[in-house]
Homo-oligomer: A and B are copies of this chain.
C-alpha cells in the first residue's frame, strides 16, 4: 500500500514528480514498442508473407527444440491460451509445426517444429535480427546495456508471483 516514498508526498491525491516521470517512461516504452512492432509487422508481411504472432511462436519453439506444451507456449509469449490455439492451428496447417500427444497425459499436447519449420525459421531469424538492428541503429552498445538492465529490473519486479 505504501509506496516506500519516505514522506507524505503521496498523501491526498496529488501525484509526485517521480510518479509523473514513471508515467512518461511508460508512455515512451509504449510508443517505441508500437512503432517497432508496426515496422516489423510490415516487414513480416511484405518480405516473409507471414505475421508477427506466427513468427513469435516459431521463435519460441526454436529455442525449445524438443517442443513445448500449449500452456508453456502461452506463458512464454504472455498471451492467452485460446490465442495460442488459433495461431498453432494455422502453423500446423502450413506444415511448420506439429502437435504430438504427451505420454500419460491425454489432456495435454506438445507442439514442436517440423524440419520444414526449423529450416524456415533459421533462415528468417538472421534477417529478422538485421531488421531489428537497423531499427535500433541509433542505439549504442552502452545504451543497449543500460536499457536491458533497467527493463530487467522492471520485469523482475512484476514477475508473476508463483502459486503454491
Q: A35, B78: Cβ atoms under 8 Å? A: yes
Say yes or no: is A133 at the interface (Cβ < 8 Å to chain B): yes
Chain A residues 112-140 with CB under 8 Å of chain B are: 126, 129-130, 132-139
Say yes or no: is A7 at the interface (Cβ < 8 Å to chain B): no
Closest 8 pairs (CB-CB, A-B) = A19-B133, A33-B33, A22-B136, A21-B144, A138-B157, A28-B151, A34-B78, A25-B144
Question: Which A residues contact B (CB, under 8 angstroms)?
Answer: 3-4, 13, 15-26, 28-39, 78-79, 126, 129-130, 132-139, 141, 143-148, 150-158
Q: A133, B13: Cβ atoms under 8 Å? A: no
Task: Give the docked Cα–Cα distance between A12 and B144 (Å).
Answer: 24
Min CB–CB distance A46 → chain B (angstroms): 16
For A145, what are the chain B residues with a Cβ–Cβ distance below 8 Å? 21
Q: B147, A3: Cβ atoms under 8 Å? A: no
Q: B22, A144: Cβ atoms under 8 Å? A: yes
Q: A129, B15: Cβ atoms under 8 Å? A: yes
Task: Give the docked Cα–Cα distance between A146 and B147 (Å).
Answer: 8
Task: Give the docked Cα–Cα distance between A155 and B39 (Å).
Answer: 12
For A22, what are the chain B residues with a Cβ–Cβ distance below 8 Å? 132-133, 136, 139, 144
Q: A78, B28: Cβ atoms under 8 Å? A: no
Q: A39, B158: Cβ atoms under 8 Å? A: yes
- Chain B minimum-CB-distance residue to A13: B126
10 contacts between A and B (CB under 8 A): A3-B137, A15-B126, A15-B130, A15-B133, A21-B141, A25-B151, A32-B151, A35-B78, A138-B153, A147-B147
